[in-house]
């Protein structure tokens, strides 16, 4: 009997039939190349703008079932990780594949603390930005500038050197993020306090003023830790794809990560929660939600924070953020935007128009509201996303580097321009006068 784990394709141009094996539910598009009209033909390629149906790698890091609304890191459901782990435990898990033992966790936390400081030249570099520079632009440039400090970083196939850079990045990105925030307010920078946990120390660097020791509110610190867990990785999203793509040229991790952060800064990626807040401001109050929904249906405005390329069900992260928001609001007081958001969600989840289109709230729908309640300005939201996503980018980068099937990322194209044509001939003297 014929191997059933294959796909049979008949090329109607030639009448020839090809048998192509499945690899983990996919076919290799390189196998299509053998399908040719004639000997001179290049062979069939896949055309897939925006990678709508192309797996660019095999990955063992993050699993998503978008139809069922399932998200797992290394096999662990996101709900359990958010409830039972700290961000640094999850970071270790994403990078190493297993949750840390108590000894591993202790040494991991110690290494991160050891690397939280920035070189003073990096601090000076940051000071060069204008007072009103966007914090995300500062973060991207400063992460790239770390490449000038750590010259060993290019030695990416040496595991110890590579892991050192990964530790440095996970430790230093919160410090850079906090300095960008303080810079935009004109406040002096606060050095890391290694008595504190990862998120407490971040809060210390953001908000410490003249008090001798910063004491983070434990509910807020845990909420931030949960938000970091939820944002740590999301398989082959736009910025992870950039990290892998830039990294595939064997560029060092600092410049690769800066490129990934640049991808995150776009409003269609990490900037989406800022757009949700703007929309909630525009709606103004709960009673105006039905009218806004009607405008969405007429195509006049967009419903921000709803729908996702992969999820055709409730984004599991949104549910956890909503739960976390309730804990934060017990401390900060209720953000009035929450009532508008809840009403928007209630109507949209019942309305045939949205149900048919499988438009459910995504992670960005509630994250902006909670960040605002914590005291962050919208410009900081993407920076807050970049801190935990640093771990995901690094895990994806290392997996790519160690994958023997990966090479420099180099897509093909369908050329749709002119066939060969010729520039008008000119005399030698005309050329001389043109260049003189
Ligand atoms: C993410 O977390 O990266 C976003 O939900 C975007 C995505 O997965 O495409």
Looking at the fold, whether 116 and 144 belong to one and the same domain comes out as yes
pTM over 0.85: yes
Each residue's pLDDT expressed in tens, for the chain with a length of 436 residues: 567 899 999 999 999 999 999 998 999 999 999 999 999 999 999 999 999 999 999 999 999 999 999 999 999 999 999 999 999 999 999 999 999 999 999 999 999 999 999 999 999 999 999 989 999 999 999 999 999 999 999 999 999 999 999 999 999 999 999 999 999 999 999 999 999 999 999 999 999 999 999 999 999 999 999 999 999 999 999 999 999 999 999 999 999 999 999 999 998 999 888 889 999 999 999 999 999 999 999 999 999 999 999 999 989 999 999 999 999 999 999 888 999 999 999 999 999 999 999 999 999 999 999 999 999 988 999 999 999 999 999 999 999 999 999 999 999 999 999 999 999 998 888 888 877 7
Q: Is residue 246 part of a domain?
A: yes
As for how many domains the chain has, the answer is 3
Looking at the fold, whether 142 and 68 belong to one and the same domain comes out as yes
Would you please indicate which residues are annotated as catalytic (active-site) residues? 269, 308, 364
Measure 237 CA to ligand 1 centroid, in angstroms.
Answer: 5
Residue 309 CB less than 6 A away from ligand 1: yes
Q: Is residue 184 part of a domain?
A: yes
Q: Whose CA is nearest to atom 6 of ligand 1?
A: 237
Measure 401 CA to ligand 1 centroid, in angstroms.
Answer: 22
Looking at the fold, whether 81 and 218 belong to one and the same domain comes out as yes
Looking at the fold, whether 332 and 292 belong to one and the same domain comes out as yes
Looking at the fold, whether 137 and 276 belong to one and the same domain comes out as no
Looking at the fold, whether 221 and 133 belong to one and the same domain comes out as yes
Per-residue HEC secondary structure of the chain comes to: CCCCCEEEEEECCCCEEEEEEEECCEECHHHHHHCCCCCCCCCCCCCCHHHCCCCCCCCCCEEEECCCCEEEECCEEHHHHHHHCCHHHHHHHHHHCCCCCHHHHHHHHHHHHHCCCCCHHHHHHHHCCCCCCCHHHHHHHHHHHHHHHCHHHHCCCCHHHHHHHHHHHHHHHHHHHHHHHHHHHCCCCCCCCCCCCHHHHHHHHHHCCCCCCCCCCHHHHHHHHHHHHHHCCCCCCHHHHHHHHHHCCCCCHHHHHHHHHHHHCCCCCCCHHHHHHHHHHHHCCHHHHHHHHHHHHCCCCCCCCECCCCCCCCCHHHHHHHHHHHHHHHHHCCCCHHHHHHHHHHHHHHCHHHHHCCCCECHHHHHHHHHHHHCCCHHHHHHHHHHHHHHHHHHHHHHHHHCCCCCCCCCCCCCCCCCCCCCCCCCHHHHHHHHC
């Amino acid at each position: 009997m014929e191997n059933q784990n294959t796909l049979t394709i008949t090329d109607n141009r030639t009448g020839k039939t090809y048998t192509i094996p499945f690899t983990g539910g996919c076919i290799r598009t390189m196998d299509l190349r053998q399908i040719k009209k004639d000997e001179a033909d290049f062979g069939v390629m896949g055309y897939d703008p925006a990678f709508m149906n192309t797996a660019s790698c095999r990955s063992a890091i993050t699993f998503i079932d978008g139809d069922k609304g399932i998200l797992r890191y290394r096999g662990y459901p996101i709900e359990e990780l958010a409830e039972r782990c700290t961000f640094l435990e999850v970071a270790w898990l994403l990078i190493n594949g297993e949750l840390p033992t108590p000894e591993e966790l202790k040494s991991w936390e110690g290494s991160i603390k050891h690397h939280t400081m920035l070189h003073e030249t990096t601090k000076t570099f940051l000071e060069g930005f204008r007072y009103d520079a966007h914090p995300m632009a500062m973060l991207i440039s400063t992460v790239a500038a770390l490449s000038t400090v750590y010259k060993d970083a290019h030695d990416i196939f040496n595991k110890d050197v590579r892991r050192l850079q990964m530790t440095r990045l996970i430790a230093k990105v919160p410090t850079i993020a906090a300095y960008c925030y303080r810079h935009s307010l004109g406040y002096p920078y606060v050095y890391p306090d290694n008595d504190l946990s990862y998120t407490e120390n971040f809060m210390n660097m953001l908000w410490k003023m003249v008090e001798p020791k910063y004491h983070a509110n434990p509910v807020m610190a845990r909420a931030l830790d949960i938000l970091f867990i939820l944002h740590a990785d999301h398989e082959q999203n736009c910025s992870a794809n950039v990290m892998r793509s830039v990294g595939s040229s064997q560029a060092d991790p600092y410049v690769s990560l800066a490129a990934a952060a640049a991808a995150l800064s776009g409003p269609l990626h990490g900037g989406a929660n800022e757009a949700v807040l703007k929309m909630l401001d525009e709606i103004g109050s709960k009673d105006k939600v039905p009218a806004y929904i009607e405008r969405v249906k007429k195509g006049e405005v967009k419903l921000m924070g709803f729908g996702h390329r992969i999820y055709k069900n409730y984004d599991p992260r949104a549910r956890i953020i909503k739960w976390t928001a309730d804990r934060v609001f017990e401390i900060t007081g209720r953000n009035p935007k929450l009532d508008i958001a809840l009403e928007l969600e209630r109507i949209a989840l019942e309305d045939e128009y949205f149900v048919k289109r499988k438009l459910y709230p995504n992670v960005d729908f509630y994250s902006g509201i909670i960040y605002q309640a914590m005291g962050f300005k919208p410009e900081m939201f993407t920076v807050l996303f970049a801190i935990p996503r640093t771990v995901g980018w690094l895990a994806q980068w290392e997996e790519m580097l160690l994958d023997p099937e990966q090479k420099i990322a180099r897509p093909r194209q369908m050329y749709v321009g002119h066939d060969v044509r010729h520039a008008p001939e000119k005399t030698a003297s005309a050329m001389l006068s043109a260049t003189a």
